[in-house]
Structure 1
């Protein structure tokens, strides 16, 4: 259609960007959805690259948001890693409680059950487990993290009191704390060695799960006869 002399054709309306396009960098998230998505992305990175391979930028890239988004939610890389570690300590606490409940009535059986439960947790969640004790990468003074660590440790204290025949509210003296830390160090070191494959050669052709269970049980029976 011809335009009158001197008249300018009407400007076309600007083309709207398809905000639903899968290639769009910033996806639309509800606050809680993005929170959980970033945690899931972080755990995937930890599994693939370890703690030292984690960056906020990579977590943002996997979720499809700008690099500023994780910092807005968690403050820093340490803040996001602390959130994952917090979930790890909470899960460990529940795991230890379940292990103790499944054991017999004997305090020695319950103490050994906690040791087995600790190692099972580490092998089931190796990325979380390794992160949980990398305090140099976490906000170690975060009150929620401190509380979660304390709750998990309280299960070890409870087992120590029971093994010693003490009431539930009796404070542990220095010798008993040393005993508890000795048992904890034992299973913690065993768990790390298992995760690093240090028992594989010793297991030979035997099933590795059976070998680890039987070996740990023999060690724990010497510590908690």
Structure 2
């Protein structure tokens, strides 16, 4: 059903879908989504948890290189725009859900790991992690919105590389 939700949200936006439509898309009874997730917020909670898990896996593959982690973040956002759109709108889902919190903390720890490799002090690495996250998130959001007015190429990761590198250059 989560795949059906990703498809529906991708086609109709966050407000243009219903649990009944998801049931039809998934080939299950119209009551199945409500039985399994409770309501839309429950389904979006599961989607957010899945998104943070996917992000954590993507960041894990990048290793401890901070630049590569930022590029992996952009890659995740552009490969999974629906998850990305839901994950950072916690009013849409139950942000206090244990699965969401665990997955979000895991993704955050992996991003912070890359920052610690660049900056030795805990306070400095926390600020560096926030700066890297802000730049990667902002770039990905602008890319997905089609808001980058200058020619940035066709590959978001290649376009993000010089932008993220600026953070490391000081």
User: By the TM > 0.5 criterion, same fold?
Assistant: yes
TM-score, structure 1 length as denominator?
0.69
Aligned with 1:114 (options 69, 72, 81): 69
Q: CA RMSD in A?
A: 1.9
Superposition map of 1:1-40 within 5 A: 38-40=1-3
Structure 2 unaligned segments of length 5 or more: list them: none
Q: Residue deviations 1:160-213, cap 9 Å, x none?
A: 1111136xxxxx33x5423321211111010010011122x411xx7421xx44
1:99 paired with 2:52, answer: no
**Contact 2:112/2:125, CA 8 A, preserved across alignment:** no
**Segment drifting more, 85-94 vs 186-195:** 85-94
How far, CA to CA, are the matches of 2:79 and 2:87 in structure 1?
14
Aligned mates of 1:138, 1:112 — CA distance in 2: 30
Corresponding position: 1:191 with 2:140: yes
Structure 1 stretches of 4+ moved >3 Å: 64-67, 212-215
Query: What is the CA–CA distance in structure 1 between the aligned matches of 2:26 and 2:77, rounded to whole Å?
Result: 26
Structure 2 contact 9–82 (Cα < 8 Å) conserved: yes
Higher-Rg structure is: 1
Q: CA separation of 1:208/1:68 partners in 2, compared to 1, >3 Å: closer, same or farther?
A: same
**Structure 1 regions of 5+ residues with no counterpart?**
1-37, 101-106, 167-171
Instruction: State whether structure 2 residue 165 is matched by structure 1 residue 221.
Output: yes
Q: Relative contact order (C-alpha < 8 Å, sep 6+): which is higher?
A: 2
Deviations 1:95-146 (A, max 9, x none): 111122xxxxxx7xx1111111110111111111111112111111100110
Write the mapping of 1:1-225 to structure 2, written as runs, cut at 5 A.
38-100=1-63, 110-165=65-120, 172-173=122-123, 175-199=124-148, 201-203=149-151, 207-209=153-155, 212-225=156-169
TM-score (norm 2): 0.89
Residue 61 of structure 2 aligns to a residue whose secondary structure is helix
Compare the two structures and name the one with the higher helix fraction. 2
Q: Distance in 2 between matches of 1:50 and 1:208?
A: 23
Counterpart Cα distance in 1 of 2:16 and 2:57? 28
Q: Deviations over 1:45-92 (max 9, x none)?
A: 011012222321221232344432211111211111111221111111
